[in-house]
Amino acid sequence: MTAGHWDAVLTSLDDAAALSGVDPAIHAVLRVPERVLEVAVPVRMDDGSVEVFAGWRVHHNTTRGPGKGGIRFHPDIDAEEVSALAAAMTFKTAICGLPFGGAKGGVRCDPSKLSLTELERLTRRYTWEILPLLGPDKDVPAPDVNTDDRVMAWLMDTVSLAHGQLVTTSVTGKPLALGGTVGHAGATSSGVLACVRSAFTELELPIAGSRAAVQGFGKVGGPLVFLLQSAGMRVVAVSDVRGAVYNPGGLDAFDLADHHRATGTVAGFPGGEAIDPEELFAVEAELLVPAALAGAIDEATAERLGARVVVEAANGPTTTRADDVLGRRGIVVVPDILANAGGVTTSYFEWAQNRQGYAWDEELVAERLRRTMDGAFRSVWARAEALGVSLRRAAYALAVERMAEAITARGIFP
């Protein structure tokens, strides 16, 4: 999974550089992460033994501002995967006009096998090891796969103790009690919905009554099912790692959420029939949202995809070859570096509020998120029309052009 994701990022970058005609020197700079820190994370387990985990923090490019990107705890990550995710953050923040660069971090572990105290010790030791890279004007982490506001609170506390003062601006995605922002929990889902609305408007497709299939029912997919239903769509299929359910008349978001809370899975939901999770991609629908991990849509899956529009809520859910197939089939893809930028946008709002010492109300956060996402979509759509290319190619071209402008302005030192 890992090398493939990094290779896909480089392929998109190379194509964008050719499309936009940027200076070859700038292209070369963007092909290599600025810094890759690999650390050992020794943790004393509850039984008294010590286990050593591998961790990483990667800065892909910080020309436009401090590094911004999540921290994930997952058994399959490595340096190349984290680098790919960091590069995506560079392009994502550029597309949305945020004053950040791209970063990402993670620890190779299975958090489901750790107790709460082991998870806290892991988080704090990992934070301590990557501390030289962290700071409000250097690198500002956020939650990602298998991390949440509780993990961010431990991270912020560790940074604050190291500095001898409270540093709320050192991390985003915190609990509200520690300077978090309202709306952060569902921000990625809200951003995806904004892209769905924009894409359907441009394609002259009605939102009301259109069918949607959602792969993944976690921090993004779960809230998104509710948001899509609230917007008037029929969510006909939903899957997670343990199963999938289908109902051509639409799955009830509230009942599905209740079932998931009770059982930990969408499998067995009485409001729909069980299907193989792989069959979700073939379900006839106007919209498909992959909201799980990278590489979910491969070449074979793309050939039998049943949707007209794909909005990528996950990072890197479509392989390069699959993207070619979707393009040939005329399926419109709103790429991850645009579609799931709601999370980092709201992280920016939290960082800004912490610096101001003033909390915004929920309406202001929602309005500024919608305005940012709509503006980013319009910019990418216009670039796609001007260049005569797909939204993915246009998004990368736009990001590279904005990066080139910043790198040129700052110059190459010395």
Which DSSP string corresponds to 67-80? EEEEEEEETT--HH
Task: For residue range 60-73, list pLDDT tens digits in order.
Answer: 999 999 999 999 99
Task: For residue range 381-397, list pLDDT tens digits in order.
Answer: 999 999 999 999 999 99
Tell me the two tokens of residue 326.
């979707």
In a domain, 240, yes or no: yes
Per the prediction, the chain carries an average pLDDT of 96
Which residue among 286, 303, 330 closes a domain?
Answer: 330
d(CA 153, CA 142): 10
pLDDT at 375 over 60: yes
In a domain, 10, yes or no: no
Check whether residue 119 and residue 193 sit in a common domain. no
Q: How many CA atoms lie within 13 A of 232 on its CB side?
A: 9
Helices (H), 96-132: 116-130
Q: How many domains does the chain have?
A: 2
pLDDT of residue 8: 85
Residues comprising the chain, all counted: 414
In a domain, 108, yes or no: yes
In a domain, 364, yes or no: no
pLDDT band at 293 (very low <50, low <70, confident <90, very high): confident
- In eight-state DSSP terms, residue 359 is P
Residue 36 phi/psi, 5-degree rounding, is -125, 110
d(CA 77, CA 41): 15
Check whether residue 197 and residue 63 sit in a common domain. no
**Region of residue 183 (phi > 0: left; psi between -120 and 50: alpha; otherwise: beta):** left
Which residue among 330, 346, 373 closes a domain?
Answer: 330
Check whether residue 156 and residue 194 sit in a common domain. no
Catalytic residue list contains 92 = no
Q: Could you tell me which of 65, 100, 70, 95 has the C-alpha nearest to residue 82?
A: 70
Check whether residue 156 and residue 277 sit in a common domain. no
In a domain, 394, yes or no: no
What is the residue range of 55's domain?
32-166
pTM for this predicted structure: 0.94
In a domain, 316, yes or no: yes
Partners of 42 in beta bridges: 52
Q: What is the CATH number of the domain that holds 226?
A: 3.40.50.720
Identify whether the C-beta of residue 397 lies closer than 8 Å to the C-beta of residue 20: yes
In a domain, 14, yes or no: no
Check whether residue 211 and residue 159 sit in a common domain. no
In a domain, 125, yes or no: yes
pLDDT at 116 over 70: yes
Check whether residue 102 and residue 193 sit in a common domain. no
pLDDT of residue 264: 96
Give the CA distances from residue 60 to residues 32, 64, 106, 120, in Å, rounded to whole numbers and listed in that order.
7, 11, 14, 27
pLDDT of residue 68: 98
Identify whether the C-beta of residue 25 lies closer than 8 Å to the C-beta of residue 400: no
Q: Could you tell me which of 141, 137, 164, 161 has the C-alpha nearest to residue 151?
A: 141
Give the CA distances from residue 14 to residues 4, 67, 235, 302, 393, in Å, rounded to whole numbers and listed in that order.
15, 22, 37, 23, 10
Q: What is the CATH number of the domain that holds 132?
A: 3.40.50.10860
Tell me the two tokens of residue 397.
């071209």
Task: For residue range 233-290, list pLDDT tens digits in order.
Answer: 999 999 999 999 999 999 999 999 999 999 999 999 999 999 999 999 999 999 999 9
Catalytic residue among 68, 92, 104, 174: 104
pLDDT of residue 315: 87
pLDDT at 2 over 80: no
Check whether residue 161 and residue 38 sit in a common domain. yes
pLDDT at 1 over 50: no
Q: What is the mean pLDDT of residues 352-380?
A: 97
pLDDT at 3 over 80: no
